[in-house]
Every structure is written in C-alpha cells, then in structure tokens.
Structure 1
Amino acid sequence: MAEQMFGKVIPILPCRSMNEQLDFYQSLGFEMTYKQARPNQYACVRHPIAELHFFVLKELDPAKNYSMCYVNVDDVDTVYETFCESLKRNTNRIPTRGYPKITKPNNLAEDRRFNLVDPSGNRLLIGAKHAVPQSNAEQQPYVTVHASKFKNAFETAYRLAYAKDDPAHAAKVLDLVLPGMEEAPLPLRYRAVILRADIAHLLDENEAALSFIEKINQISLSHISLSAEEHHLVQEAAKRLEELKAVLMAGQ
C-alpha cells in the first residue's frame, strides 16, 4: 500500500505595492508573518482560511491581472461577515467596486461563494461546496437547453455577474430578453429585474438601477402560489433588493 501523502498549496501572487497589499490584507484580519525588502520585496500573510505570499511587480495593472485562487471553506457566510466586520472596523468602509472590492455571497450551481479582489487585482474565490450535489442540468448553465430562454438568460447573466465578475457582459445577456419577459413566469421575471438592477449598480449606473427598481415595484407575487424552491429563491432576491435600496439611498 502506498504511503499516504499530505501537502499544502500556498499561492504566490503579484502586487504593485507591498505596503498597500499588506495594509489591505491586515484590514481583513490576516496576520503578516514575514516581510523582506532585499534582494527583492516579498511578504507572507496568514489567516485561518489561507496562507498567501506576495512579490512586487511594479508595472502590474490590476485590470489586467488574471491571478486567482479558489479557497474552499466550511462556512462561506461566516467568512464573509468576518471580513466585512474587520474591514468596517479598520477602514470604515466595505469596498464593492474597483480595486479592492468584496462581493456578496451568491449561490452558484457548484457552490456558494463570494469574490475578494485585492488592490492589485488578484482574485480570491471563497466558496463552500453545496452539501447536496446539483443535477447535471444545473451544473452546466452555459450549455444546457432549458425549457425557457428567459431562465437560460437569467442563469447565464447571474453567473457572469457573480461568478465571473463580468457585469457588463451580464447586462448585455439580460437586456436581450428583458423586453419580452412578460411571457416569463412572474417569480423569474421578479428575480431577473432585481439582478439587472444590481448589475446596473455594479456598473456604477445608479440612475438605471433606480429605474429597474421602479419596474420591480410593478411586479406583484401576492396572488400566485410558489413552490418551496421558488419561495426560497424569491426571498433571496428580495433580500438583495433591500440591500441594494439601502446602498442607493445612502448614495454609495
């Protein structure tokens, strides 16, 4: 029998400024465990969920940085809340756009996750796998043919906005089907318009976001019967709507 082996992966990520990088991760609650200035700048940080190392690449453009790392955790919502509390305590803000930023947790086919993008554009995908495996149809939203083109467009836009962090592409996908979405089931239309409002906010198009919120107010689900799954999905969307309203009212 082969001897069992164990290992540990430690990402080594680029940054444009070591001080900026360390300040951000320490504001999240990471501990700096090592730092050197010569012969090259290098540093290490550690948190219960991950250990990360950094080197300086002064010409790095955060918008063109494709470095990423998936961090598997037991409870993604606890990690998210801990990071947000630490950011608010140390910086008095929770960045949701630009560099750095932290997105809200979202349910995808394979996991529940949020994205953490640091000042240099490195992306940590922090997720927890679903306890119950999804069906093959649910795991392949890009290629599966759904009974409804509206559902297909919604799932694709949702993944682009929240998993791929590409709200501009997500907006294009939804805008192709929204004009004809009166034919779609009301719960799906409700979730799609909320998603489009959130995408507008992610694109810093707050006037458009408010316009989509007005359209949401015209959709009433009170007279229809929802399945348990639909009820859960609608509740999740309604929570996101209230969060979005609060952010827009605060002028952020």
Structure 2
Amino acid sequence: MANEVTVPLLPCASIDDIEAFYGVLGFRTTYKQRKPNPCVGVRREDLQLQFFELPGFDPEQSYGSCLVLTADVEGLHGAFAAGMRAAYGKVLVAGTPRMTRPRARKNADGVGGFSVIDPGGNWIRVFRNAAAAPGPATPLATTSAVAPVGRLGKALANAVVQADSRGSAAQAVRILDSALARPHAGDDDPVERVEVLVYRAELALVLHDPKTAADMLARARSVTLSADECARAASAFDNAAEVAAALR
C-alpha cells in the first residue's frame, strides 16, 4: 500500500491554547470537539497534528514529541517566526511555548533542524528531509559542511544536542560555561565565540536568567570581527536580535 498518512495525537492541558498557538503559526483548525473527550486537529498544508486535553496535565512534564521532515527547514522556520512576530511582537525563545533556531545537530549526522515547543509541552522537531529536493541552505542548517573545527565550535555542537535535542538547557549551560572559562587559545575562531555567547544568552532566557542573557549579548557584541567574519556571524547576530527582543 502507498500514500498512507500518519497524524500524531499529542496531549495538552487546553485545546483552546493549542488552537490559538497553532493558528499563530499558520495552521487552520480541521476538527474540534468538547464531548465526550476534548480534542482538536490542526493542519498547515501537508502538516497535520491532533491533540487531546487532559485535566490537570502539566506541560513541563510532557514527553509528547513528533518529527516533521521538510525540504525547506529555513522556510518553515521563517514562516513560524513571522507568525510569532505578528502575534506577539517577537519570536518566542523562552518559556512555553517557544521555538529554537535552525541548527545542525551533531546527534543527527549534522542534519539541520529546529524545534517548536507548544503550549502542551510537546516538542515538534523539524528536520531536513534528506530524500526530498533540498531547499535553500544556510550555514546553520546544512549537513557535514558545518562540522565544528575549533574547541568552541565543538562545545557548541555538544550543547545543542543537550538543549535543542534533549531539552536539558542546564547541561548545555555547563558545557558552554566550561568552554568560555578557559583562556583564549591562539586558534580560537571569533565567529564561534560569538555563536557560543549568543546561544548561552538564549539558554539563560530559557532558564529565566535575564541578567546573564544581557551580559552574554554584550560580550558577543564586543568580539572583534573582520568583514568576512561579520558575514559568517550573520545568523548568530540574527539570533542575538531575537534574544534581545525577548529581554524587552
């Protein structure tokens, strides 16, 4: 048989909160009922999700998750980000709900992806579909070309696995703080330093530590970069702008 469709069914505390959030991301409601069991279905083009409401459900304790494979990781992230900016005035980078940025995943053979953590605490994990025609590539969302070469890049790759894949921001912070505490090596890449500092700022927000987030952003801005290095750090500075917006 061919052309089968699988639709994830995920838990939440409120189907109304789920419906409103996914509406921000460009989904339309395909089905909703209150009785006998509250549930809602949402759809955005070929991406379909369904949710069921559980009384007393704690999103922070959710294990709900699913994978989304797409040829255009950056395009989908950009559309979601635009919806958040229109609805909230910023991209949600901390709290629940929130969204991570497209980054290469060391634990997924370097394939780029991002995650949406919805109001139910479900992790919607978006990855590039290697079997599909490739979409426009960016330095943070391609494959082996982004393999880290410096010690800071390796620390960043390990931290991304912990926070963006496993949801352990605290462990990711320990990795980055250890790397940043070491004396500068002569071959340290200043772009990698900017990326580490900006990601550390993002994680500080996730851990409800705005003071550290602001300090890390200031340190990132103080790194001296050449014109070529500024171009390479463009994505990190875009992330810095989102973190700064979340601080306001």
TM-score (norm 1): 0.77
Cα deviation, residue 36, structure 1 = 1.8
1:176 equivalent in structure 2: 178
Equivalent pairs, count:
233
Matched, 1:198 2:206: no
1:244 alignment partner AA: A
Is contact 1:49-1:73 (8 Å) kept? no
Is contact 1:150-1:184 (8 Å) kept? no
2:114 equivalent in structure 1: 114
Q: Distance in 2 between matches of 1:21 and 1:5?
A: 31
Distance 1:111 1:206, change over 3 A: same
Q: Distance in 1 between matches of 2:83 and 2:40?
A: 21
Is contact 1:28-1:86 (8 Å) kept? yes
2:138 equivalent in structure 1: none
1:89 equivalent in structure 2: 86
1:81 alignment partner AA: G
Q: Distance in 1 between matches of 2:36 and 2:156?
A: 51
State the percentage of identical aligned residues. Answer: 26
Is contact 2:162-2:169 (8 Å) kept? yes
Distance 1:212 1:73, change over 3 A: same
Cα deviation, residue 77, structure 1 = 1.5
SS at match of 1:44: strand
Q: RMSD in angstroms over aligned alpha carbons?
A: 3.1
The 5-angstrom pairing of residues 35-114 of structure 1 reads 35-109=32-106, 110-114=110-114
Distance 1:164 1:49, change over 3 A: farther
Q: Distance in 2 between matches of 1:53 and 1:39?
A: 16
Q: Distance in 2 between matches of 1:238 and 1:204?
A: 26
Q: Distance in 2 between matches of 1:95 and 1:250?
A: 7
Q: Any idea what the Cα deviations from partners look like across 1:184-236, whole Å, max 9, x if unmatched? A: 6231434333332333233332322333344335533439xx8xxxx5xx745
SS at match of 1:186: coil
Q: Distance in 1 between matches of 2:143 and 2:235?
A: 25
2:125 alignment partner AA: L
1:241 equivalent in structure 2: 237
Q: For structure 1, which runs of at least 5 residues remain unmatched after alignment?
A: none
Distance 1:120 1:5, change over 3 A: same
Distance 1:222 1:124, change over 3 A: same
SS at match of 2:144: coil
Distance 1:192 1:6, change over 3 A: same
**Residue range with higher mean Cα deviation, 13-22 or 213-222:** 213-222
Is contact 1:186-1:219 (8 Å) kept? no
1:58 alignment partner AA: P
Cα deviation, residue 100, structure 1 = 1.2
Cα deviation, residue 108, structure 1 = 2.6
Is contact 2:155-2:179 (8 Å) kept? yes
1:201 alignment partner AA: L
Matched, 1:212 2:212: no
Distance 1:151 1:24, change over 3 A: closer
1:60 alignment partner AA: F
2:208 alignment partner AA: D
**Larger relative contact order (C-alpha < 8 A, sep ≥ 6)?**
2
TM-score (norm 2): 0.78
1:191 alignment partner AA: E
Distance 1:237 1:126, change over 3 A: same
1:80 alignment partner AA: H
Q: For structure 2, which runs of at least 5 residues remain unmatched after alignment?
A: 135-141
